[in-house]
Amino acid sequence: MRKQFVVIGLGRFGKSVAETLFKLGHEVMVIDNNEHTVQSIMHNVTHAVQADALEEETLKSLGVRNFDAAVVAIGDNLEANILITLMLKELKAPFIVAKAQSLQHGKVLEKIGADKIIYPEKDMGIRLAHNLTGSNVLDFIEVSANQSVYEVIAPALFINKTLGELNLRAAHGVSVIAIKRGTRIIVAPGSDTKIKEKDVLIVIGEK
């Protein structure tokens, strides 16, 4: 489903979010007060606007309340980050994602109405730690406070056994949602699916 996003602030984080959303087929408007930064991204998003997002009239005229989600990606100016989040809330933006520098910053954003708080450095640190300490774990994504998705190289004990035989839900509290087999991806594999050597299991479960 094609959605509409507005990303405010084009540092490395904001630019990455905007370009990725656009590549995924969504409509993306970006706002930044730096002319050079705006020009550098204009061909990789739907609309690129040079403007001061701290001016409420600017946000109102750009129709931020009509987007499915607004991403406040400003990280180096805490005051601007908080004020823009507050203005988006007052303008009735339906879903606000805000970047936080610290847990204290995140608590402030939560209190003023941000729907989702992102801690880029903390999240990347968690992913790196899991990658370094789990020899079979290729990647790790936290999807909620209690659940995570892992990419795991199939252990030797799993080879030539079916998912039904392994019964991973009972044994380990995880479910296999897909299997990567070379360039092929088997989505929602059944209990009769047999694990092969070099398979990568994508599993979801409690952390």
Give me the domain span that covers residue 59. 4-118
Q: Which residues contact 2 (CB under 8 A, 6 or more apart)?
A: 25, 26, 27
Confidence of residue 205 (pLDDT cuts 50, 70, 90): confident
DSSP-derived letter for residue 144 is S
Q: Are 15 and 97 in the same domain?
A: yes
116-126, pLDDT tens digit by residue?
A: 998 887 776 66
Q: What is the pLDDT of residue 90?
A: 92
146-167, pLDDT tens digit by residue?
A: 677 788 899 999 999 999 999 9
Q: Are 127 and 106 in the same domain?
A: no
Domain boundary among 118, 148, 175: 118
Does the pLDDT value for residue 58 go beyond 70? yes
Domain boundary among 82, 97, 118: 118
Q: Are 11 and 113 in the same domain?
A: yes
The number of folded domains in the chain is 2
Q: Are 73 and 164 in the same domain?
A: no
Q: Are 131 and 65 in the same domain?
A: no
Q: Are 106 and 15 in the same domain?
A: yes
Q: Are 191 and 128 in the same domain?
A: yes
Q: What is the pLDDT of residue 178?
A: 87
Q: Are 163 and 94 in the same domain?
A: no
Domain boundary among 118, 134, 165: 118
- CATH number, position 17: 3.40.50.720
Q: Are 74 and 134 in the same domain?
A: no
pTM of the entire structure? Answer: 0.64
